[in-house]
Amino acid sequence: MNIRIALAQINSTVGDLAGNQEKIADYIQQARDHKADIVAFPELAISGYPPEDLLYKGHFVKDNLRVLKSLIKETDGLTAIVGFVAADQNKNLYNAAAVIHRGRLIDVVYKQDLPNYGVFDEKRYFKPSKAFHLYSLGQNFFSVNICEDIWKDDGLAVLQAKAGSQLLINISSSPYHHGKVKLREGMLRRRAKQTKAFIAYANLIGGQDELVFDGGSLILNPKGEILFRARQFSEDLLLADLEIPPSRKIKAAPKSKVIALKNAEIREDKTAIKRHFYPPLEAPAEIYQALVLGTRDYVLKNGFQKVVVGLSGGIDSSLVAVVACDAIGKDNVVGVSLPSQYSSQETRSDAKSLADNLGIQFISVPIEGIFNTYLFALRQEFAGRGFDVTEENLQARIRGNILMALSNKFGWLVLTTGNKSEIAVGYCTLYGDMSGGFAVIKDVPKTKVYELARYRNQKGSKPLIPESVLNRPPTAELRENQKDEDSLPPYETLDPILKSYIENHSSFKKMLKKYRGKEEGVLKKVISLVDKSEYKRRQAPPGVKITSRAFGKDWRLPITNKYKEF
């Protein structure tokens, strides 16, 4: 017998209860139109994920329950599984899934394993619960679990399979980072083989502050083969017919554990559907799409239409401008050149060429005059002291001010252009190049910035980023003949050290061993720079997380911190 399952991979928005309700109702209708027996939505689809301290507002939780109540009425003719926030009489909250069958709420499943590491704070809000049921549909059993509960070898999903479940429906809001897809799919393959059950995995898509959810919902058979796969970084309705043999346990199952889906006949009038299978994206494309979606959703979900980017003629701002155009369209992107006496003719003209290639509005506001006025105003205080980082930062801050002035005057969101390598070692100016609402490549190491720029240049009909931008040695152009390598190790050396220190929390000793005792000075310098730049990162705008540890909620180092390894 065929069960037709629909995985509604939607882009819900945190707090947008009415909008999420409408979207869920729409996808239920689509699933019904396609004669699905079951439709599953992502984790916390009603509230959006993660709702964070909105959960501390009792009225928010009540409003979310009201939405659930309305949605129950929309489920004529099928079974819908919808993520929401449940509350008990003692005001304990649960990360929950409503199992709704033909207009009736027949069960609520609670998440048991609440992640409280990395970017997750679920124990701050939710209580766990071990209870679960099986649902009988025709001659089959299925059950529902939430996100983390399928990740562990002895988790709730495994218990459900042991109790007789043949189909494990997991609803997730699993945040993206590069490498996560492989991790997730490997885990699901193992779980399917271990439990000898089908797995239907419904994931969220969309951007939420620093997080991007990549979708890529899946259906696996008990051999651990991926039969169906939804799109990544885009809404999708994955439809699949599963041939599940009749359960041999159907009569032996403990009655207390089973809820029969009454009046549920598997629809027999289905016509065959095309196999829904999108192959996964490869590395640079995957990361690039994450940046595009994260940027688009931050801009649009926060009510902005246009963005403004300072174009230095360098690789970082070039990539950000290109991502912005792909995210919200070239007519909504403004490029601003802010040259000083230290800007070369090459970088000025590269900024202009990029804007021309993209076809975006281009503004040029030279900063030299303003810079000189500051120096004049401070002439007494600074008398007898030479040019130092003060004057460098001042230029960056003048640029930040001009971008913010344009933002204030025209309602454009400022996109900042700093990369992860810079932000890690503090090679960036607070209130200068760090000024802005969203930091597109905040979590992208410099070497990967180049990789993404080359990828995007190759992808289009013609290269958008001028070749000279890709070939010029990186420079901040804040003093004469400045090069990044005057202050920092080459990025090819720096980035792997940063990855060890940040993503793996490696110790100095361990890294020194890896480098066989060489590079001691470089390692010490990098560690010191990272440690002492914490105060800058604390005031940085959010940006898209693409690595296993970004400078966001998954990085909670104290500013006041006297720990020294050497």
Q: Could you give the CA distance from residue 10 to residue 26 in angstroms, rounded to a whole number?
A: 10
Which residue among 23, 35, 111, 448 is the active-site one?
Answer: 111
Q: Residue 142 or 371: which CB sits closer to its own copies?
A: 371
**Token pair 């969101």: residue:** 413
Question: Minimum Å distance from CB 17 to its own copies?
Answer: 7
Q: Residue 258 or 363: which CB sits closer to its own copies?
A: 363
Answer yes or no: 325 catalytic. no
Residue 340 and residue 366 in contact, taking contact as beta carbons nearer than 8 Å: yes
Task: Give the pair of three-digit tokens for residue 407.
Answer: 């933002």
Q: Residue 183 or 559: which CB sits closer to its own copies?
A: 559
Examine residue 51 and say whether the peptide bond preceding it is cis (omega within 30 degrees of 0): no
Question: Minimum Å distance from CB 54 to its own copies?
Answer: 6
Amino acid at 15: G
Q: Residue 79 or 332: which CB sits closer to its own copies?
A: 332
Task: Give the pair of three-digit tokens for residue 256.
Answer: 């207390």
Q: Residue 219 or 428: which CB sits closer to its own copies?
A: 428
Task: Give the pair of three-digit tokens for residue 338.
Answer: 């802010």
Query: Residue 396: CB partners within 8 Å, gap ≥ 6?
Result: 429, 432, 433, 478
Which residue among 35, 122, 147, 286 is the active-site one?
Answer: 147
Question: Minimum Å distance from CB 61 to its own copies?
Answer: 11
Q: Give the closest residue to 310 by CA, choosing from 354, 372, 359, 265.
A: 354
Q: Give the closest residue to 289 by CA, choosing from 456, 175, 42, 118.
A: 456
Question: Minimum Å distance from CB 295 to its own copies?
Answer: 12
Q: Residue 108 or 414: which CB sits closer to its own copies?
A: 414
Residue 554 and residue 545 in contact, taking contact as beta carbons nearer than 8 Å: yes
Q: Residue 492 or 563: which CB sits closer to its own copies?
A: 563
Helix, strand, or coil (residue 181): helix
HSE of 442, CA atoms in CB hemisphere, 13 A: 29
Answer yes or no: 428 catalytic. no
Question: Minimum Å distance from CB 87 to its own copies?
Answer: 14
Question: Minimum Å distance from CB 118 to its own copies?
Answer: 9
Task: Give the pair of three-digit tokens for residue 370.
Answer: 């303003």
Amino acid at 313: G
Q: Could you give the CA distance from residue 428 to residue 530 in angstroms, rounded to a whole number?
A: 12
Question: Minimum Å distance from CB 449 to its own copies?
Answer: 23
Q: Residue 248 or 509: which CB sits closer to its own copies?
A: 509
Chain centroid to CA 105: how far?
A: 32
Which residue among 23, 35, 43, 446 is the active-site one?
Answer: 43
CA distances from 136 to 115, 145, 255 (A): 30, 16, 11
Q: Give the closest residue to 76 by CA, choosing from 108, 95, 55, 100.
A: 100
HSE of 428, CA atoms in CB hemisphere, 13 A: 30
Give the DSSP per-residue string, 129-162: -----EEEETTEEEEEEEGGGGTSTTSHHHHHHH
Query: Residue 63: CB partners within 8 Å, gap ≥ 6?
Result: 17
Q: Could you give the CA distance from residue 276 to residue 6 in angstroms, rounded to a whole number?
A: 11
Question: Minimum Å distance from CB 55 to its own copies?
Answer: 10
**Active centre residues (catalytic):** 43, 111, 147
